[in-house]
Amino acid sequence: MNTTDLQISALRLEELLIAFADKDVEASALYADLKPLLKLVKDEVITTPWQWGQIPGRYRFSERGLQAYEQLEQAFATFCIELTGGETPALKWMREFRSQDD
């Protein structure tokens, strides 16, 4: 787990959550869900990876319409990847493979 990358992703996610919270009640609710976790990350309390199921708010993208905000969804995904231990070799390979199609 790279705590620097985790903090950077937390700051970016929080920045976008604040921006979208004024526009969408679901983004505001997601920010409320994640705010305690983001604080723990920024305060460097979290030093070991979490499990995907421990991260609040994922359903808000698929079930509550937040997938309409691509930047927010990408920032959330990056944060979750960092919080769960960072990119796996398989994920790195998949990203490289997908970038070849562009």
- Residue-wise pLDDT tens digits, 5-54: 999 999 999 999 999 999 999 999 999 999 999 999 999 999 899 998 89
Residues 6+ apart with CB under 8 A from 6: 41, 46, 79, 82, 83
Residue 98 has pLDDT above 80, yes or no: no
Global confidence as pTM: 0.85
Q: Which is more confident, 59 or 32?
A: 32
Name the domain count of the chain. 1
Residue 97 has pLDDT above 80, yes or no: no
What is the distance between the alpha carbons of residues 5 and 26, in angstroms, rounded to a whole number? Answer: 26
The tokens of 96 are what?
């490289």
Say which amino acid occupies 20: F
Q: Which domain range does residue 50 map to?
A: 3-100
Give residue 4's pLDDT: 93
Q: Which residues of 16-36 are buried (b: 16+ CB within 10 A; e: fewer)?
A: bbeebbeebebbeebbebbee
